[in-house]
Structure 1
Amino acid sequence: MSLTPHHSAAPDRYNTDELTNLATLYYIDGLTQEELSKRFEVSRATIGRMLRRAQEEGIVEIRVRQSPKQSDDLQHALVQRFGIMRAILTPDHTDPDKQRGMLASLVAGYLDKTLQDGMIVAVGMGRNINAVSDHAISTASRSCTFVCAIGGSYLGGEAMNPDHICRRLAAQFGGESETLYAPALVGNPEIVRQLTENLTVRQTLDKARRADLALVGVGDLSADSNMVRMGWFSPSELAEAKRIGTVGDLMGYDFLDIHGRSAATQIQGRVVGLSVSDLKRIPNVIAMASEPSKITAILGALRTGAINTLATSVSNATTLLQMDEAISLGRQTIVSGVS
C-alpha cells in the first residue's frame, strides 16, 4: 500500500482503500502507530491524521460500551417498573447527533438479529427513526415489508417522510416498502376520516396494523422538537397544549400527558396514522428517544402500555426511573394524607 496523499483533492486526502487498510491494521490487527509509521515509512503524525480521517469518513466507528452491570441493572429496572419486554440503552454523548447515531446503531443491530422473512414492519418518522436507516447493515438476505404507519410531510426533510425511511430500510435489510399516500397533518378530523376511508390509504394502514414489529418515535414540545420546528403547533396552540399538561406524542399521532392519557390538544385527531390503540395490537413496538428533553414524553408514552421495547440513553433511563418513583411516592403521600 502506498500512503501518498492525492494532491488534486484536499491536503492529506487518501483514498478509501488506503484508509480502510490502515484502520484494519491498527484497530483489528493491533499494530501500533509507531509500527505503522515504520512499516509505511511515514511519520506518526501522518498515521494519526489518516486514522482521524478514517473516523471522519465513517470507515471507523468507535463505540464505548457502558459498564455491562450498570446497563443490565438499568434494563432490568425498566422492564420491572414499566412492564416492557426489553430496553436498549446507549452510553451518553454530549453531541445530540452522535447520541442519536449511537442509539440508532444499537437499534439497527437489534433489527438485524430480529427480522425474519415475511415480517411486516410498521415505520414512523422523526430523526431517531431516520437515523436507523442510516446505520442499518444487514448480515442476512431477507424478504420483509416496511410499511409507512403515518403520513408524510414535505417540511423537515427526509426525517419526516416515512416513505423515504421505509425505502432505505427495505434496501438495507431486504424486502419491499409500502407508501402511505396521505399527508401526516391535515386541517381537521373530518379530513382524516375521509382520507382513512379511501381504499388506498385504508389498505396501507390495515397492513401497518397487522405488523409484527413497529419502529416509532417519541416527540416532545421543546423548541427543537419536529412538531414545533415544522409549525404543527402555533405559538398559542403550543402554550395551550402545555397548559393542559401535554408532554409529547407517540409516533406523532397521539398527544399525551405524563400519565399516558390522551391530551385534548387542538391538533389531536388531525394526524393520519396509527393510534396508540393500534400500536397495542402489534407484538413488538420499539419506541426510540435519544434526547434528554424527552424524559416526560417518554414517561407518558411508557404509561400508555403500547411500548414493548424502549430505546434510549443511559442517563434518560436513570432519570425515568427516578421521576416515576418520585411521582409514585407523591401519589402515596396524597392518598395517605386523605385517608
Structure 2
Amino acid sequence: MDRPVSSHRPSGDKEALLSNVALLYYGEGLTQGEIAKRMKVSRATIVNMLRDSRDLGIVDIRVDGRHLSGSSLARDLREAYGLEDVYIAHAEADQTLSRAETLAQLGRVACSALLDVASPGDRIGVAWGETVMAVADAMPLNPVANVEVCQLIGSMISERVPASENCTIQIATKLGAQCFTLHAPGLISNADLAERMRAEPTIKAQLERLGALDLAVYSIGNVRPDTHLVAAGMASGAELTAAREAGAVGIVCCRYLDAQGAEIDLPPQARLIAAQIADLRAARKRLLIVCGADRSAAALAAIRGGLVTHLCVDTALGTALLHG
C-alpha cells in the first residue's frame, strides 16, 4: 500500500521532497521502481512526482536535439528524403515496449525536437490526437520569446484524447506563448452550416491566422478501422471505407491524403473547422511526429506531399521508412 504523500505539506517541504526524488532519478540513476520501493510508494506516484519537479522548474532538463538527430538511422532518413532533420526515439535492442510506452518515449523526444526547431517570434500551429497529446503531456517548462501557439483543429473530444484545445493550451503554457484557440466545433453537422461558420468574422480571422504559420506541429493517422478519426466520431466506418477505396493512406487534421500526399476531397472535409493541408504545406517548418511502423505508408505520403521538413519517429517506424 502506498504511504500517502500529503498534499498539505508547506511548499518548501514539498519542493524538498520533489528535489530528493529528482536527485535519485536524474543524479544517482535509480530507476522509478527502485525509488518507489525505497520510498514505499507506487511507481505511478514517482512518475507524477518527477513530472511535478519538471513542471515546477525544480528540474531543468536540457537535451541537445543534435544528439537525438545524430544516429545513423536519423542521418540515413535525412539523406533518403531530403529532410532538414530527423529525431529518433530509440529503444534498446532487447527492450519490448507497449504502444503506450513507445508513445510516451516519442513524446519526450518530440519535445526536444520542438524546442530545437522553434525560434523566438514563431507562430506555431498545434494539431490534435494521441501523439500530439503525448508531446503536450511531456512538454517541459521552457519559455520561448514572442511565440504564438494556434489550435489547428476546432474543439473535439474523444474517449482516447481530451479536448483538442488541451494540446494547444498545454504547449502554449509551457512555451510561455500567447495562445489562440479555435472557438468552434471541429466538425459541423452539415456542409452549408460549416461554410457559414467559417465565414463568421471571428472564425475567419482565426483560420486566416493558420495560413501564416512558421511551424506546424502535427501527426498523421492511418486508415485502419480503429483510426482516431472514426473513434472520435468525425467520420463513419462507411466514409472511411470509401476513402480507402479512393486511395487514402493517411489522415492529417481530419483530412485524407493519398500515397503521393495529395488531398482527397471526401467527407467529412466539407464539414470541418480546421487548418487546410495547404496551411501546413505553407509553414516554413513542418514537424511531423509519428509512432508505429503501421503508419509508414501515411508518414511517407506526408513526406512525398511536401508536408515535412522535420521528422520525429520511433525506431520501428524509422526503420520501416528506410527499408520498407
Q: How does the TM-score come out when normalised to structure 1?
A: 0.76
The superposition leaves residues 223-255 of structure 1 with CA deviations (integer Å, 9 ceiling, x where unpaired) of 432112122222222222222221121222x30
Instruction: State the one-letter code of the partner of 2:121.
Output: G
| CA distance in structure 2 between the partners assigned to 1:53 and 1:184 by the alignment | 33
CA contact (8 A) 1:158 1:164 kept: no
Instruction: State the one-letter code of the partner of 2:187.
Output: L
| CA distance in structure 1 between the partners assigned to 2:30 and 2:156 by the alignment | 49
- For structure 1, which runs of at least 5 residues remain unmatched after alignment? 1-9, 37-43, 62-67, 324-339
| 1:1-339 matched pairs, under 5 angstroms | 10-13=1-4, 17-18=16-17, 20-21=19-20, 24-25=23-24, 27-29=26-28, 46-47=37-38, 52=43, 55-59=46-50, 72-92=71-91, 94-140=97-143, 142-156=145-159, 158-161=161-164, 163-252=165-254, 254-323=255-324
Alpha-carbon distance, 1:46 to partner? 4.9
| CA distance in structure 2 between the partners assigned to 1:308 and 1:26 by the alignment | 34
CA change 1:199–1:317 in 2 (3 A) is same
CA change 1:29–1:311 in 2 (3 A) is closer
| CA distance in structure 2 between the partners assigned to 1:135 and 1:263 by the alignment | 33
Q: Computing the radius of gyration over CA atoms, which structure comes out larger, 1 or 2?
A: 1
Alpha-carbon distance, 1:291 to partner? 3.0
CA contact (8 A) 1:219 1:249 kept: yes
CA contact (8 A) 2:142 2:174 kept: no
Q: Which secondary structure state, in structure 2, belongs to the residue aligned with residue 147 of structure 1?
A: strand
Alpha-carbon distance, 1:213 to partner? 0.8
CA contact (8 A) 2:21 2:49 kept: no
Alpha-carbon distance, 1:45 to partner? 10
CA change 1:25–1:131 in 2 (3 A) is closer
Instruction: State the one-letter code of the partner of 1:297.
Output: A
Alpha-carbon distance, 1:284 to partner? 0.6
CA change 1:118–1:236 in 2 (3 A) is same
Percent identity for Structure 1 against Structure 2? 22
The superposition leaves residues 248-272 of structure 1 with CA deviations (integer Å, 9 ceiling, x where unpaired) of 21222x3012222223433333322
Instruction: State the one-letter code of the partner of 1:133.
Output: A
CA change 1:51–1:156 in 2 (3 A) is closer
Q: Which secondary structure state, in structure 2, belongs to the residue aligned with residue 317 of structure 1?
A: helix
The superposition leaves residues 164-187 of structure 1 with CA deviations (integer Å, 9 ceiling, x where unpaired) of 222211211102211212221224
| CA distance in structure 2 between the partners assigned to 1:26 and 1:175 by the alignment | 30
Alpha-carbon distance, 1:31 to partner? 8.8
Alpha-carbon distance, 1:116 to partner? 3.8
CA contact (8 A) 2:212 2:279 kept: no
- For structure 2, which runs of at least 5 residues remain unmatched after alignment? 7-13, 55-66
CA change 1:291–1:199 in 2 (3 A) is same
> What is the number of equivalent residue pairs in this alignment?
296
CA change 1:139–1:240 in 2 (3 A) is closer
| CA distance in structure 2 between the partners assigned to 1:131 and 1:205 by the alignment | 25
Alpha-carbon distance, 1:58 to partner? 4.8
Instruction: State the one-letter code of the partner of 1:124.
Output: A
Alpha-carbon distance, 1:49 to partner? 5.1
CA contact (8 A) 1:249 1:301 kept: no
| CA distance in structure 2 between the partners assigned to 1:109 and 1:69 by the alignment | 8
Alpha-carbon distance, 1:132 to partner? 1.5
The superposition leaves residues 53-89 of structure 1 with CA deviations (integer Å, 9 ceiling, x where unpaired) of 664435289xxxxxx7996222222222222211121
CA change 1:30–1:278 in 2 (3 A) is closer
Alpha-carbon distance, 1:26 to partner? 6.3
What is the Cα-based RMSD across aligned positions, in Å? 3.1
More displaced stretch, 49-58 vs 96-105: 49-58
